């Protein structure tokens, strides 16, 4: 019988193919082996397989959020151009160390500007997309950079958001947050003692809309790229810095005004003068 003349048989064949595909995909999704630790589960749930990749084609992905975040109506501070020319990259790598003790000298606004540019500054444009200093999977750039300004020359203490496109700061909250960020960071004193403490936060669905659950791995990789840029820029400028991964997530997200679900803090990075 000609299958094209028999819609019922065609439908049955389509259902059979769909069931076969679902069974094939699920065959690669057995329960997590081992003791069921969270780390093992994370690796399993975000692992990449051909079955999973094909299964993603039939899964509903989240909608893509806006590429840029802006605090409309916030007081803005235009940053000086990032023009510092420092050490050769090899020498900056050699000198890079984690510093947890800082001097009382305030950070200059020009220095803060250079550090923010190193973290997420614009370096060019391709296909009408702004490219940045740190690599990002698919050039999707899920990160927003916040900075707790503790001791920066000519700048009011408070929490600021880095406006990437305009190379400017947007004041989220005014005030002295040294004690609060230290408490959120498990009482690690350098977070409050630093002249500026950067908070790297990811808008999760900026990367999940394309890469699904695998995108979580790319987020953590990118956090490392950004922190290393801050480390090397600080070393080149004769400043001290240290990346921090130990903090109370809920407390830090509340301090930043984030819901911890759609956008969440991933890392802290303290910078200060030596």
Domains of the chain: 3-57 (no CATH), 76-273 (3.40.109.10)
On whether the CB atoms of residues 109 and 221 are closer than 8 A, the answer is no
Cβ-count burial of 57 within 10 angstroms (0-12 exposed, 13-18 middle, 19+ buried)?
exposed
pLDDT at 58: 77
pLDDT at 31: 53
pLDDT at 72: 94
- Predicted confidence (pLDDT) per residue in 72-89, tens digit: 999 999 999 999 999 999
pLDDT at 249: 98
- Predicted confidence (pLDDT) per residue in 21-37, tens digit: 555 555 545 555 566 68
Cβ-Cβ contacts under 8 Å for 129 (sequence gap 6 or more): 139
Spans of the chain, pLDDT less than 50: 1-3, 28
pLDDT at 37: 85
pTM: 0.86
């Amino acid at each position: 019988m000609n299958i094209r003349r028999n819609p019922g048989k065609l439908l049955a064949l389509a259902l059979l193919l769909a069931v076969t595909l679902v069974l094939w995909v699920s065959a690669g999704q057995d329960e997590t082996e081992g003791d069921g630790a969270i780390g093992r589960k994370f690796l399993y749930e975000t692992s990449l397989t051909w079955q999973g990749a094909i299964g993603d084609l039939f899964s509903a992905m989240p909608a893509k959020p806006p590429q840029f975040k802006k605090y409309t109506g916030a007081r803005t501070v235009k940053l000086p151009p990032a023009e510092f020319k420092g050490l050769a990259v090899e020498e900056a790598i050699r000198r890079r160390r984690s510093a947890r003790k800082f001097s009382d000298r305030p950070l200059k606004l020009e220095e803060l500007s250079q550090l923010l540019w190193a973290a997420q500054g614009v370096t060019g444009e391709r296909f009408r997309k702004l490219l940045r200093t740190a690599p990002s999977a698919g050039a999707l750039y899920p990160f927003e950079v916040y900075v707790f300004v503790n001791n920066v020359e000519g700048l009011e203490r408070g929490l600021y958001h880095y406006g990437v496109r305009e190379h400017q700061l947007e004041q989220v909250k005014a005030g002295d947050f040294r004690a609060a960020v230290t408490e959120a960071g498990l009482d690690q004193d350098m977070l409050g003692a630093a002249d500026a403490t950067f908070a790297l936060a990811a808008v999760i669905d900026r990367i999940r809309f394309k890469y699904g659950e695998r995108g979580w791995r790319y987020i953590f990789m990118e956090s490392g790229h950004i922190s290393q840029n801050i480390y090397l820029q600080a070393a080149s400028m004769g400043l001290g810095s240290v990346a921090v991964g130990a903090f109370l997530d809920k407390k830090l997200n509340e301090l930043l005004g984030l819901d911890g679900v759609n956008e969440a803090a991933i890392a802290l990075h303290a910078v200060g003068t030596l």
